[in-house]
Amino acid sequence: RAAPIEPLPPAGTLEALRTEARGCTRCPLHCKATQTVFGEGPENAAVMFVGEQPGDQEDLAGRPFIGPAGKVFDAAITEAGLDRRRLYVTNAVKHFKYEPRGKRRIHQKPNMGEVQQCRWWLAREIDLIRPKLVVALGATAYAALTDGREKLGDVRGRAMTLDTNRLLFVTVHPSYLLRIPDARKSQDENRRFVADLAVVGDLMR
Ligand code: URA
């Protein structure tokens, strides 16, 4: 017996966009990835966080920022007094890009062509959520949101105008914090990330 057909969500809604994104073939990344990892969070969120692309665990679970970088993100937002349940969290690129190495899948940075193709989804997420503030986590998200080629250090930590209705705030990607070998520097950089997120909290209000 045929499986019952699920009714499609109404056109022009976030749910419809999410359903449409499941079948995305705009760039070749869908070939190797398990699934599209779409954004997650309330439709009326005041703040949208944009990461780079799903990692290994996100690819398997179909949810953004639930792996190691997600744990760093969760700890930092909590320390900064933010509640993830009130945030919309998404990525610049919605499929996991990797190279297999033995049993492991090694993350690869998406190229600008892939980022450009995936902007189609990001732009629609922004249109539907209409956040007051968009937070770019790292250089890929910043490039996806602005085309900007500035160094992250030059744009980090201050609110900029994204368009007439929205502010943009730029900070580092949580994975950067996982890659710092020196314990002292790691602690300092973690503190700085939390301080950035506290500014996000202030801008939200
Ligand atoms: N890194 C990202 O940029 N996004 C995720 O969802 C997970 C890791």
* pLDDT reported for residue 1: 73
Query: What would the mean pLDDT of 122-137 be, rounded to a whole number?
Result: 97
The predicted model gives 170-183 an average pLDDT of 98
Asked if the model's pLDDT at residue 35 lies above 90, the reply is yes
Q: Which atom of ligand 1 is nearest to the CA of 69?
A: 8
End-to-end CA distance of the chain: 53
Mean pLDDT computed over every residue of the chain? 96
Residue 103, classed as helix, strand or coil, is coil
Domain extents in the chain: 28-204
Q: Per-residue confidence at 2, pLDDT binned at 50, 70, 90? A: confident
Q: Find the mean pLDDT for residues 53-62.
A: 98
Is the minimum distance from the CB of 51 to ligand 1 under 6 angstroms?
yes
Task: Name the CATH architecture for the domain at 28-204.
Answer: 3-Layer(aba) Sandwich (3.40)
Which atom of ligand 1 has the smallest separation from the CA of 68? 8
How much is the average pLDDT of 118-137? 97
Distance between Cα 193 and ligand 1 center (Å): 16
Average pLDDT rounded to a whole number, residues 93-116: 97
ipTM of the prediction: 0.93
- pLDDT score for 116: 97
Residue 120, strand partner residues? none
Separation of alpha carbons 30 and 23, rounded Å: 9
pLDDT for position 52: 98
Say whether pLDDT at 62 is over 80: yes
For 127-167, the DSSP string reads HHH--SEEEEESHHHHHHHH---S-HHHHTTSEEEEETTEE
The CA 55 to ligand 1 mean position distance, Å, reads 5
Q: Which residue out of 135, 173, 179 has the highest number of ligand 1 atoms within 8 Å of its CB and is therefore the one to mutate?
A: 173
Coil, helix or strand for 62?
A: coil
10, 14, 18, 24 alpha-carbon torsion, rounded to 10°: 90
The response to whether residue 65 sits with its C-beta less than 6 Å from ligand 1 reads yes
The pTM score is 0.96
List, in order, residues 6 or more apart from 165 with CB less than 8 Å away: 130, 132
